[in-house]
Amino acid sequence: MAASGINTIVIFLNGQKPGSISGRKKFLVMIKRVITSITQLLQLMQSHGATRFYAKKLSPNDNSKNQIYLGGNFSALNIIPFKDIYIDDSDLVGSKRERAKADVSFYWIRTEGKYKAPDAQLILYSKYPEVRMSGFLKGCKNAPSDIMSIRDEGRVLFLGITHNGEVLGYATGSHHPLSKELYTQDRWETLGVFIEIPPDTNKRQDTKSQLLFVLKRIYEKQWIASQKMSINGLIEPYSARNGGGYTLEAELGISPNGHSEPDYLGWEIKQYGVADFIKFSSKSPVTLMTPEPTGGIYQDAGIVDFIRKFGYADKSGKVDRINFGGIYACNKDYHNGTGLRLGLDGYDSSTGKITDMSGGMLLISRKEEIAAQWGFVDIMQHWNRKHSQAAYVPSLFRTPPPEYYYGAKVLLCEQTDFSLFLKAVASGIIYYDPGIKIEGCLHCEITYSQNAFVNSIPKLKTSSRLSVRNILTMGRQLNAIGEEFALRYLSPLDNIRSDNLDNGILGKTINKLLKETDNINDHKIVKEVSQKAAESIKDYYERMGIDAHYTNKREYLLRASYEVLRKEELRKHLQSKINITDIADVKNKEVLEDKLERLMAIYSRLTNKDSVFYIPEEINKVMTEFNNKEIKLKELAMEYQKQGMSYNKANMIAKEVIKYEAKKIKGNDEYWEQ
């Protein structure tokens, strides 16, 4: 790679003696250590103590001249460790106001070491607000000036954060393999302007965690409009009621191409509709697979004759229509309409073993005719192919518009064994559920369904895994990822700006977190509470004579007070619910208790000083002060604007006025002190 070549040369120029043997040896070592993948970079950063990793796709404007944009709020402070925030009011030419800054221990890393950028700092523009990083090249000998001072698109800045608060930087140009790798991936979460790179990115082969990661993201999206990915990869809205599978597939980037089943990293993905995310009980049977019979009348005489022989006239009275439906389980008697039952041939249900591989599942008539047969061999193939790795995702549906919400509790099936499948068939857990009709033209669909599967999911929480496994009688591993998800919600992404006036940071975050974990029923609560809050805020405006048109200020106040109020209310509500002792509410209670616990956990995490989400009080204070000042300024400027001044002029004059008033106050103080 060209970039690696350049890298090597640079190493050479930096103090190596090309002629010497040791130099050459080192040179060879260096070649080996040139970084060509993100994994390698993470390893390098880890060797310097980094534990968290981020990347920012650099916009042209993210350069040393214009500084690197770190987001339109102060949440970047959650990501980049910094020293104290201080106010730089040195009257540099060009500096028009006081500005908050925070020093950062920033190092550029290379394969051969790390180099401190002594002047790196964060600038906290409270007015807009935004955070930018600057000074990262100044005074640093080995800084990647060639990358950080240009405006190329496609550049990437990788950051590694160490335990002791150092920031390690690594910049790559647009043609660098790392940049390309970052631009082509889409599995990582974004955190503000950053992409969060998980430390174990090198464990590529772990498709399970990858799958869970993606499913989590889909879950976090909450309601997703019904969609379907067309064969050419375009996502289109989809309005029919069976969009649950398509929507999930589209989210996973799978387009339904003919017969192939939805497959993500080797995992068979199935979704099933549920009525709520409490019980997770399926609305309808879950289709396991739809294999064609390999023998019997169905195969020999053909499907038309098969249905003519065993089917029944349409019950709703449609003429010229013969149906073949019903439920056929091994523990069920002959079906009334069709006179068939499901049986197993060549299988000993007492030992659970196949006695004859040429046997199979049969649909048998009272006259002992074999209406249809599925040979063990074929079915086994089918089963193992489809269910060696499968994930079942619950979904909620609502309309209009048609939308799906995929649940957090996903059932993962691994290492299935065909004998377990047969066991389930023998016991009637898995049954044959056809829906075939003849209506002039043919339409054929065969569905295997399994009810126990759905029923057993709610037990996950209360009973042990073993019992679930026993019920399922399949080699399945259940992962209670719901809980895991709940704990992993935390994201410092929130718009801290609007909440700075109070401890709204916590409120907002909790709001978001709760929303994400809420059950449907709780939307009502949220709505109720927010309405109440909105009313009282409106009240407050009127009392205070606040101009409702001044939306910025309104927003500040609204959000701050709203969050405080809502938080309180929600808590009260939860608390009261928990006291309900009705038998019917026991389950409810459990859910609510769980939620309250979660709420507390989130709280403690956010107020925990060791947490990356913690923002110290002093900083909040400084920033609040700033914001207050800015609000004042904006107000004043607004006044001038109302009087007909231009935006720029009004702002300038307001600035001067405030400066002047500050001086006046200071003067007064001095006067009184004397």
Partner DNA sequence: CATAGAACATTTAGCGCATA
Partner DNA sequence: TATGCGCTAAATGTTCTATG
Residues near DNA, by CB under 7 A: 59-62, 64-67, 69, 71-73, 88, 92-97, 99, 119, 121, 123, 125, 127-128, 130, 134-138, 143, 145, 149, 151, 153, 192-193, 400, 495, 497, 549, 551-552, 555, 647-648, 651-652
Nearer to DNA, 119 or 518 (CB): 119
Q: Which two tokens stand for residue 148?
A: 């950080």
Separation between Cα atoms, residue 496 and residue 74, nearest integer Å:
6
Nearer to DNA, 578 or 652 (CB): 652
* Minimum separation from the CB atom of position 549 to DNA (A): 7
Nearer to DNA, 420 or 637 (CB): 637
Q: For residue 198, what are the CA distances in angstroms to 50, 139, 354, 429, 516?
A: 12, 31, 46, 40, 22
Nearer to DNA, 383 or 562 (CB): 562
DSSP 291: P
Q: Exposed (0-12), middle (13-18) or buried (19+): which is 396, by Cβ within 10 Å?
A: buried
Separation between Cα atoms, residue 237 and residue 401, nearest integer Å:
10
Contacts of 488 (CB under 8 A, 6+ apart): 216
Q: For residue 567, what are the CA distances in angstroms to 61, 572, 580?
A: 39, 9, 21
Q: Which residue has the tokens 């190092």?
A: 107
Chain centroid, CA 591 distance in Å: 22
Q: For residue 416, what are the CA distances in angstroms to 286, 385, 458, 557?
A: 17, 10, 21, 57
* Minimum separation from the CB atom of position 121 to DNA (A): 6
* Minimum separation from the CB atom of position 235 to DNA (A): 15
* Minimum separation from the CB atom of position 338 to DNA (A): 43
Nearer to DNA, 73 or 105 (CB): 73
* Minimum separation from the CB atom of position 140 to DNA (A): 8
Query: Degrees (nearest 5) of the Cα angle 128, 129, 134?
Result: 105
String of b and e for 418-449 (b: at least 16 CB within 10 Å)?
bbbbbbbbbebbbbbbbebbbeeeeebebbbb
Asked if 478 contacts 392 with a C-beta cutoff of 8 angstroms, the reply is no
Amino acid letter, residue 555: E
* Minimum separation from the CB atom of position 550 to DNA (A): 8
List the beta bridge partners of residue 391: 269, 412
Nearer to DNA, 56 or 387 (CB): 56
Separation between Cα atoms, residue 174 and residue 153, nearest integer Å:
7
Nearer to DNA, 183 or 647 (CB): 647
Q: Which two tokens stand for residue 190?
A: 């974004």
Query: Degrees (nearest 5) of the Cα angle 285, 290, 296?
Result: 120
* Minimum separation from the CB atom of position 42 to DNA (A): 23
Q: Is 113 left (phi over 0), alpha (psi -120 to 50) or beta?
A: left
* Minimum separation from the CB atom of position 554 to DNA (A): 8
Nearer to DNA, 92 or 583 (CB): 92
Nearer to DNA, 36 or 142 (CB): 142
Nearer to DNA, 78 or 651 (CB): 651
Contacts of 322 (CB under 8 A, 6+ apart): 307, 308, 311, 312, 313, 314, 437, 438
Cβ atoms < 10 Å from Cβ of 91 = 8
Q: Which two tokens stand for residue 593?
A: 């208790």
* Minimum separation from the CB atom of position 136 to DNA (A): 6
Nearer to DNA, 542 or 669 (CB): 542
Nearer to DNA, 52 or 554 (CB): 554
* Minimum separation from the CB atom of position 94 to DNA (A): 5
* Minimum separation from the CB atom of position 170 to DNA (A): 17
* Minimum separation from the CB atom of position 659 to DNA (A): 11
Q: Beta strand pairing status for 411-414 and 312-313?
A: unpaired
